[in-house]
Each structure stands twice: as structure tokens, then as C-alpha cells.
Amino acid sequence: MQFVTYNIHYGFGRDGHNALERIAEAVDGADVIALQEVERFWPRSGMADQVARLSKLLPDYWIAYGPNLDLHSPAGFPGEAHTARRQFGNMVLSRTPIHSTTNVSLPRPSDEPQTMQRGALDVVLSTSIGAALRVYSTHLDYLSPLTRLAQLQAIETHHARSIDEGGAWVGVHASEHDWIVGDEPKTPNAAVLLGDLNMWPGTSEYRAALHPESPFSDAWDHAITRGQGATKDGHRIDHCWVTHDLVEHVGIAWVDPEADGSDHQPIWFELDI
């Protein structure tokens, strides 16, 4: 399966032009697409519903969207102002069914410089061979290394806890006939963490993030790579991390240097799953 992650900068390329068509063209063909900085009903992007627009541009995909900002939009269209919400967050598109989604709110330590609320969109989907796989799309804080580490710790904690807890409707409700509309897959340990982590290899925070007890490993280190992998300003700050049970399945990885729809470049990974 091919995975790609792309911080789309709400559709603005380096030329200052907003065109989601360029985003869709850059990622089309992947089996799983993780996008960050996807927004709905913001004046700066023409009040576009980018979730709906991307869904139309990529019609062969199941979609999930997790807004981390959800605010009243005073610039809503006439007659729709009460329903237009300014939203900003992460998205996952998958060629195979998405069985469940959870939007995880990430911490912002009060003693660190404050920016916007961040989150991790957690989806459970089917692989090409039918097994369940967890995929995260996330965008970490850009100001504070300590905040980024706290946010990654929150994802690790959520990952471990949710495996123990099981799916969203296990237990009493799952035993009631009117709730059962299909089998919910077991919550898998196997996971792919995709997104803009705002850190690059070699830094102390990167090494701290991939501590010995971390459930994740950087897929780039296990891949057959093409090029240097820089996704923004000469650094690889956009990543694919995999749980240790997926390391042996990592294939090739590369950055698309030609994509011009954002201030980032999309980064691709192949996993034999």
C-alpha cells in the first residue's frame, strides 16, 4: 500500500495562488492520504468547504475529517450563516473502508508558548488484504519542543489505552441488536503515524520522541529512499512513523519535489501490507 502525507497550507502554494486541484493531483493514486491544514468556511480561502471540495476531487476515497478549531463564522453565506463553522484540522482519505474515527485533542502545556489547539485524527481502516490498520494524521505545535513532545506522549497514551479499551461501541451497546450494523474490527496495534511533526531527524527532541519505549519507529530509516527527503526549508519535518510490527514491511520512500500546491512537499511511503 502507498501512503502519502501532505501539509496543504489550506491550498496556498508558494506562488500565493489557492488551488486544491494541485493538492488532489499531487496525492491521487495513494492508497491512504493524510492531509493537514484543511479548513472550512474561512474568508482567507474564499469561504470554501475544503473537505467537500477535496472529496469531489478525489471521489474514489472514503474520507474522515477531524477539526481542531471549530468556531462561529461571522462571514457565513446569506441564509447559511448559522451553519457555517470555521474549522481547521486534519484529514484522512482511504481507498479501503474507514471503519471508525476518533479526533484526539492534544495538550498545550500552560508554561510553554501558546499557539492553536492541535489534534490527531485516529482512523481504523482496512488494508488491501483486509486486515485492520490504525492511521493517524496529525500536525504538532511549531513553537515549543516541549509541547511537541507532550503531544506525541498524548498520542502514545491514547494509542495504548484505546487498544486496552477496544472499539467505540464494544460492551453493552454492541450486544443490543439495534446497534449492530456490521462487525467492528478489533482495535489494532499496527499503526501508521503521518503528519507534520515540526521536527527533523538529528535534533535532541527527535531522539527524545523516538525513545526506546516508544511504540513508533521512523519509517524513513527502514526504507529504500530516493533523495534527501526534505519537505520544507531543507528539512524533513513531515513524517511517516510506524509501529514496530510494521518495520519489516516498509519499502521505498520519497518526497515529490514537483508538487507546488503548498509550502510543504508531500512525502510518500510504501508498506507491504
pLDDT value for 170: 64
pLDDT value for 251: 97
Place of cell 496543504: 8
Report d(CA 204, CA 214) in Å as an integer.
Answer: 15
Assign residue 154 the CATH number of its domain: 3.60.10.10
pLDDT value for 199: 97
pLDDT value for 130: 76
* Cell representation of residue 107: 495538550
Is-contact 194 240, C-beta < 8 A?
yes
The pLDDT-based confidence of 65 (bands split at 50, 70, 90) is very high
Place of cell 510543504: 264
pLDDT value for 81: 56
Give how far the C-alpha of residue 9 lies from the chain's centroid of Cα atoms, to the nearest Å: 14
Across 235-260, average pLDDT: 97
Give how far the C-alpha of residue 8 lies from the chain's centroid of Cα atoms, to the nearest Å: 11
Domain that holds residue 117: 2-271
The pLDDT-based confidence of 76 (bands split at 50, 70, 90) is low
Residue 174 has pLDDT above 90, yes or no: no
180-187 contacts, C-beta under 8 A, 24 or more apart: 184/99, 184/100, 185/99, 185/124, 185/126, 185/132, 186/132, 187/124, 187/132, 187/134, 187/162, 187/163
* Contacts (Cβ under 8 Å, ≥6 apart) of 205: 145, 148, 149, 199
Residue 72 has pLDDT above 60, yes or no: yes
pLDDT value for 85: 87
* Contacts (Cβ under 8 Å, ≥6 apart) of 152: 140, 197, 209
212-215 contacts, C-beta under 8 A, 24 or more apart: 214/156, 215/156, 215/159, 215/160, 215/189, 215/191, 215/243, 215/244
C-alpha angle 51-266-153 in degrees, rounded to nearest 5: 80
Is-contact 15 254, C-beta < 8 A?
no
Q: What is the 3-state secondary structure (H, E, C) of 76-113?
A: CCCCCCCCCEEEEEEEEEECCCEEEEEEEECCCCCCCC
Mean pLDDT of the chain: 91
* Cell representation of residue 235: 528539512
Residue 142 has pLDDT above 90, yes or no: yes
When mean pLDDT is compared across 74-88, 128-142, 149-163, 225-239, the lowest value belongs to 74-88
Residue 121 has pLDDT above 70, yes or no: yes
pLDDT value for 181: 59
Report d(CA 5, CA 90) in Å as an integer.
Answer: 11
Share of residues in the chain with pLDDT > 90 (%):
76
Stated pTM of the model: 0.94
Please give the tally of structural domains in the chain. Answer: 1
Give how far the C-alpha of residue 137 lies from the chain's centroid of Cα atoms, to the nearest Å: 1
70-83: b (≥16 Cβ within 10 Å) or e: eeebeebeeeeeee
